[in-house]
Structure 1
Amino acid sequence: MFAPGHLGELTRIVPFDMVDAALTETGAVQQRMRKIPARVVVYLLLAAALFEDCGYLAVWRKLTAGLEAIPVARITGTALWGARARLGVRPMRALFDLLRGPATAIRTVGARFKGLLTVAIDGTYLDVPDSPPHRARLGKSTNQYATSGYPQICLTALVACGTRAVLDAAFGSRSSGETVYGKRLMRSLHDGMIVLLDRGFSGNTFLAAVAATEAAFLARVSAARRPPVLARFDDGSHLSRFGGIEVRIIECEITITTSQGRRTGLYRLATNLLDHHRYPASDLVSLYHERWEVEMCQPQCTHICGLAA
């Protein structure tokens, strides 16, 4: 049994002292006693990510349902929303930084490729409530046929493929695009990593930014893009150049089998791992499959936005 006021596994994973450290670091500790202290608001938001179909008041009732022997202040939904607004964004960002920990600590079997931590970057679009502040800041996407029903944000995340741990995330108006937010994730890339990228992140400028962090990359590029062949290697790859960086190009056919049948397509991959003996093309093609781990992690990233937005 857990003690009164304990939130079970939630307070084991996110202990009180960690929450208090995030509040202290960001100057968010309440200055006077309130019915809903800042620490309680943090746990309310964490629980809201678990009960995503519930409003704040319903989540509050779930959190306090087991406290029948302890007097609990009567709280309204408006009071909870006000407490959320007072807390602000910074404490949740600080708590995320404490929880994610250093990427170098990941030791899970299969999390590394030839000693390199395998990570991936991907982006997605998420609906947010159709409120006047959201409409004013985010707007709504339109085309020649209609306007979207809800404002949207663009979320870009850096995920460790072996564990699906979210190492970093950035989001904002979808008008900026995923590569803009992707560049913010450069702060979390470093030597000893290999980052897997889809075609949307394969532009020369973005790849140069990744290379500048000293991380390796393996990116899918458009099959219509035909970079120059500077040298050929015996593993079937060839040396080329994207702007100011040298890359190896790997071409392969991949067959995808679904309930609708089989489809074979040409994949062209680019990497700044130039040693074809240490990193043969066949191994890199197999590695690229790990990129789909980040797509499986997108529902988890949705919770991050719910906490920090």
Structure 2
Amino acid sequence: MQLSTALSLVNSNNVTEFQNLAEILSPEIISAGLKEHGISTIRKRKLPMENMVWAVIGMALFRKFPMRQMLNQLDIILPSGVPYVASSAVTQARKKLGSKVIETVFQQTQQQWNQDAHHGQWCGLNLLGVDGVVWRAPDTDENNKEFAKTGTQHGKASYPQVRMVCQMELTSHLLTNSVFDSVDVNEMNLALGLIDKTPDNSLTLFDRGFYSLGLLHRWQSTGKARHWLMPLKKNTQYEVIKSIGRQDKLILLTTTPQSRKKFPELPKTMQARLITKKVKGKDLQILTSMTDPMRFPSADIVDLYAHRWEIELGFREMKQSLLDNRFTLRSNQPELIRQELWGILLAYNLIRYQMVLMAKSLDGIHPNQLSFNGASMHIIHELTQLSFCTPGNIPKYTMNITKSAKQFVLPSRRERQYPRMLKCSKNRYPVKSKNAVHLK
């Protein structure tokens, strides 16, 4: 059975055999994660630690159910005299499990699934994207102590927030790594935590908000052929070393004493490549570490930046589709918040890996060209029959998923008809119109 068996059965009958996911998420990976962090079930409990890993994943997959109801309806509670589990037992089991186990399972599975996906490459480089997203945590005393609240001139937000920076493979939307902390931690500081596990022979696309010569130098100097690309930040000072082409230049960037103090390995100057292209009447300038013009043609480099928006689509799929627009997380304690977030990332990768398998059945189609909502709904519809069919017929229904994948290919994305415009900020007080008619 596939991952979506669990999804389909819970939507049709509100009861599912959660262990059907074991064919995708190996029990050996879960056991290894528990063993690595010294966590095990010493005596027989209703909620053994192996099952609690599935429960954390289920918190994201079945967002519409309260935690206790989900556990009682899913087949992950060991048989006993009482066919339900108390809320206090769920919290106690989640605390014992912690967040590190889920993080380890995520890291192990993403490595395996990304390797199996056989991603498309550009000039021998895998395309990665890095960007940040903010999650809202429940307003509890524990969360308020750990996570800050964003503030404006009108006051602070009502909820503590968590800032997350993710790294995503852009052709499949499979996540490769993530780092998160309080919302008052800068995205560039969080991105430093992604460097060590960034794959070699890769090109990472950044937004201009990540412009930091210390970050970029460490990114490209760690590992082998780890390149980066981003738009040139406004008012950036540079010196032209030589002109490679009409709109293609090799430039020299000067680092500041403050950045060299923070990054001791950072040199005083740093070479980069600046490519300019006119897009819709405006000059778009792209800065990159790919300084070899023979291997990396300038005609394609500027167009590559448009692929950075794939990670934004992935964040939308997580928040709107996977979590059903429930933007506030469930957990009331910081460690359980971290556990829940790793569970969301793991659940998202589970679904995305199924879409990778669907895309493999189509010629010339990447997983990011399939509709996330449409593919998920079809998988749910097809696999509702698995609980009623004989084991010999299961492969037939499973194959129907890949055979029907073609209908979920998205049409070509349309160009924006109207340019982006800056809207006026809202006024706290009503604006009196000159032509207003005053009624007596």
Q: Does the Cα contact within 8 Å between 2:106 and 2:342 map onto a contact in 1?
A: no
Residue in 1 aligned with 2:289? Answer: 272
Q: Once the two structures are superposed, what CA deviation does each residue of 1:211-246 show, in whole Å capped at 9, x if it has no partner?
A: 112411111222432422221112521011223321
1:220 equivalent to 2:231? Answer yes
Residue in 2 aligned with 1:139? Answer: 148
CA RMSD in angstroms comes to 2.8
Cα pair distance change 1:288/1:101, threshold 3 Å: same
Taking the aligned partners of 2:339 and 2:283, their CA distance within structure 1 comes to 35
Residue in 2 aligned with 1:164? Answer: 173
Taking the aligned partners of 1:254 and 1:103, their CA distance within structure 2 comes to 36
Compute the TM-score of the two structures, normalised by the length of structure 1: 0.86
Q: SS where residue 101 of structure 1 aligns?
A: helix
Q: Which has the higher helix share?
A: 2
For residues 215-294 of structure 1, what are the structure 2 equivalents within 5 Å?
215-234=226-245, 236-243=247-254, 244-255=269-280, 265-294=282-311
Q: Does the Cα contact within 8 Å between 2:131 and 2:166 map onto a contact in 1?
A: yes
1:101 equivalent to 2:126? Answer no
Larger deviation, residues 237-246 vs 71-80: 71-80
1:87 equivalent to 2:97? Answer yes
For residues 45-194 of structure 1, what are the structure 2 equivalents within 5 Å?
45-64=56-75, 73-101=83-111, 105=115, 108=118, 111-194=120-203
Amino acid across the alignment from 1:159 = M
- Alpha-carbon offset, residue 73 of structure 1: 3.6
Q: Once the two structures are superposed, what CA deviation does each residue of 1:184-235 show, in whole Å capped at 9, x if it has no partner?
A: 0001124311111110112211111111124111112224324222211125
Amino acid across the alignment from 1:112 = Q
Q: Does the Cα contact within 8 Å between 1:249 and 1:268 map onto a contact in 2?
A: yes
Q: SS where residue 188 of structure 1 aligns?
A: coil
* Match among 313, 317, 342 for residue 308 of structure 1: 342
What is the aligned-residue identity percentage? 22
For residues 19-58 of structure 1, what are the structure 2 equivalents within 5 Å?
19-58=30-69
Cα pair distance change 1:220/1:39, threshold 3 Å: same
Larger deviation, residues 291-300 vs 18-27: 291-300
Larger deviation, residues 10-19 vs 148-157: 10-19
Taking the aligned partners of 1:137 and 1:17, their CA distance within structure 2 comes to 33
Residue segments in structure 2 that go unaligned for 5+ positions in a row: 6-14, 255-268, 324-337, 344-440
Cα pair distance change 1:161/1:172, threshold 3 Å: same
Amino acid across the alignment from 1:161 = L
Q: Would you say how many aligned residue pairs link Structure 1 and Structure 2?
A: 298
Cα pair distance change 1:151/1:184, threshold 3 Å: same
Cα pair distance change 1:239/1:222, threshold 3 Å: same
Q: Once the two structures are superposed, what CA deviation does each residue of 1:42-101 show, in whole Å capped at 9, x if it has no partner?
A: 111111111223321122133139x9x997642122221111111111110111111111
Cα pair distance change 1:191/1:74, threshold 3 Å: closer
Q: SS where residue 230 of structure 2 aligns?
A: strand
Compute the TM-score of the two structures, normalised by the length of structure 2: 0.62
Amino acid across the alignment from 2:227 = A
Q: Does the Cα contact within 8 Å between 2:188 and 2:212 map onto a contact in 1?
A: no
* Larger RCO, structure (CA 8 Å, separation 6 or more): 2
Cα pair distance change 1:128/1:53, threshold 3 Å: farther
Residue in 2 aligned with 1:296? Answer: 313
Taking the aligned partners of 1:208 and 1:182, their CA distance within structure 2 comes to 13
Query: After TM superposition, what 4+ stretches of structure 1 lie above 4 angstroms from structure 2?
Result: 69-72, 299-305
Q: Does the Cα contact within 8 Å between 1:235 and 1:281 map onto a contact in 2?
A: no
Taking the aligned partners of 1:92 and 1:300, their CA distance within structure 2 comes to 21
